[in-house]
Amino acid sequence: MRKYLIPTAALIAIAGGTVVIAQAPTGVPGTKDVAKVTGGTYKVDGGHTQVVFAWDHMGFTNNMGTIAEPTGTLTLDKANPAASKVSAEFAIANLRTGVTKLDEHLMKADFFDAAKFPTATFVSTSVKPEGASGAEITGNLTIKGITKPVTLDAEFYGAGTNPMNKQENVGFVATGSIKRSEFGMGYAVPVVGDAIELKIIAGFQK
């Protein structure tokens, strides 16, 4: 029997004995061109936004976890970038480390106490543009009912029209760090590191 290789770029649909080949989109719709950002109000794209957090475990390993699927908004003021604002809310139940027992412990009172404090929030208080595509974002981070100021270094990642939903999408990457003990999560410090390194992959769409 002969075998026929179908190009991976093609989508095949067979109906009523007819083969229809539809060419999939080619190229990357997102671009590093800041001019593609129109500005205005965007909503968080929960399916493509996550916080990656990392901590030192007894000096042996640097472990990581994620919190995904937040909600929130971004207001981008192209004429006055310093007036831009961002806010996000994360469900603690969406936290995953890949280790079931650790995830269960993190939900308890030693750490997030998720039954009592089911969400974490970030609300910006100032935005300081840095160059053409960066910004220093300071805001109030609330975890476990405790609010502390946090500063993030953000960098524009890409923008354009999403061919799937025809909406304008913009993305950023931000980094920062916090001390978990300041948020009522000092369990096992200093044997397990107090400093939590953050990397936020942030997607927004109109």
DSSP notation for 43-106: EE-GGG-EEEEEEEETTTEEEEEEEE--EEEEEE-SS-GGG-EEEEEEEGGGEE-S-HHHHHHH
pTM of the model: 0.85
Its sign, for the CA torsion 86, 170, 79, 41, is negative
pLDDT for res 4? 40
Q: What residues contact 190, with CB distance under 8 A and at least 6 apart?
A: none
Q: What residues contact 62, with CB distance under 8 A and at least 6 apart?
A: 54, 55, 56
pLDDT for res 103? 98
204/159 Cα distance (integer angstroms): 9
- Report how far Cα 173 is from the mean position of its chain's Cα atoms: 8
β-bridge pairing 95-96 and 61-68: antiparallel
Tens-binned pLDDT, residue by residue, of the chain (206 aa): 444 443 444 333 444 555 545 555 567 899 999 999 999 999 999 999 999 999 999 999 999 999 999 999 999 999 999 999 999 999 999 999 999 999 999 999 999 999 999 999 999 999 999 998 999 999 999 999 999 999 999 999 999 999 998 999 999 999 999 999 999 999 999 999 999 999 999 999 99
> Quick one: CA torsion of 119, 84, 173, 27, rounded to 10 degrees?
120
pLDDT digit string, tens, across residues 34-56: 999 999 999 999 999 999 999 99
pLDDT for res 27? 79
Which residue type occupies 37?
V
CA atoms within 13 A on the CB side of 195: 6
